[in-house]
Structure formats: C-alpha cells, structure tokens
Amino acid sequence: MADLTGKKVLALASQGLEQIELTSPREALEGAGATVTLASPDGKEFQGMEGDWEKKDFFTPELKVSEAKAEDYDALLLPGGTLNADAMRLNKDARALVRAFLDAEKPVAAICHAPWLLIDSGVVEGRTLTSYESVAPDLQNAGANWVDQEVAIDGTLVTSRNPGDLEAFNAAIIEKLA
C-alpha cells in the first residue's frame, strides 16, 4: 500500500450521506497515512444513511464548506447519497471547490450520486465518468461519456458507481494521491 503520510484530503458531506461512501474511503486513506477533514455546508452535525432509508451514525464536521480552500488539501472526496448529493450540487462553495481542485490538477473522487456536483460545477463535458446508474442520463446530457464500470479515471478525476465498488474506488484514490 502507498504511504500517504502528510497528505490531506477534504471530504464534503451533509444530511443524507450514504455513510459507507464516506467511512470506507476515509478508513482506507487514514490507514495509508492521510488525514481526512470533513466539511459540511453549515458546519453542523448531520446523520448518515444506508440506502437513503435506514438512519445510521451522526457526523460532526470540522468546518463549513465555505471555510475550506483547495490549496490547503491534496485531494477532494465526494461521497454520495441522494439527499447529500442533491444538497451539495446546490452549494456554490462546493461547486467552486470542485473547480479549484480540478484547476490545480488535484485528485477529485466522486461516487454514486456525487457526480451531480461535478455536473453542476461545469466540469464533466468531454470526460469519461461513471456513477450510480440513475445519474448516467444527467452525465450524458451534460456532455460526459458515461461508462458502466467499477471505477473510471479521467485525468485527476476518479468516479465510481456504488458501495459495491468501494474496494476499487478506495484503491484508485490512494493510487492517484500517491
């Protein structure tokens, strides 16, 4: 496994987060030595979910999305969850962060419904991406080439379909960050 000691990753999440899509990558990144900081739109505690229906754990972010700066981190993690992804795509600071990370050629990793934020950030046209299957038409309508595979890597952008792909997603993030 790659040594990510000293690497800092920013994760954006809010109410309705698909919990395993945050906890699994965070554990993998921290296990490789990286530090993961959690930011939410309002900086307040929120509850994760399993499959959009079953309530899971509470998470307390370290900062608000508006307080985060791309230059302070080495990568951006965007977990899914329908409600979380829908809230994030409407957040102007989250959209600005996505663009700033990609402009700086830093890894951005999005899974499941999180590519909605990529669409609304204006960064998918001409890129090859994957996502949860219901997001595929949105990506295609925004000019992306959608593929049905565990992980799609396009430059510094890493995307994945769903929690069943987390092992491959986590490995791709770590490789991209190393």
Residue 3 lies in a domain: no
Residue 144 lies in a domain: yes
Backbone angles phi, psi at 141, to 5 degrees: -65, -25
pLDDT at 157 over 90: yes
Q: How many CB atoms lie within 10 A of CB 6?
A: 9
How many domains does the chain contain in total? 1
Choosing from 111, 112, 114, 139, the catalytic residue is: 112
Q: Domain span at residue 147? A: 8-177
Residue 79 lies in a domain: yes
Beta bridge partners of 18: 49
| DSSP characters over 73-90 | -SEEEE---HHHHHHHHT
Q: Is 17 a catalytic residue?
A: no
Q: Is 112 a catalytic residue?
A: yes
Q: How many CB atoms lie within 10 A of CB 54?
A: 9
pLDDT at 1 over 80: no
Residue 1 lies in a domain: no
pLDDT (tens digit per residue) in 5-56: 999 999 999 999 999 999 999 999 999 999 999 999 999 999 999 998 999 9
Q: Tell me, what CATH number does 16's domain have?
A: 3.40.50.880
pLDDT (tens digit per residue) in 132-155: 999 999 999 999 999 999 999 999
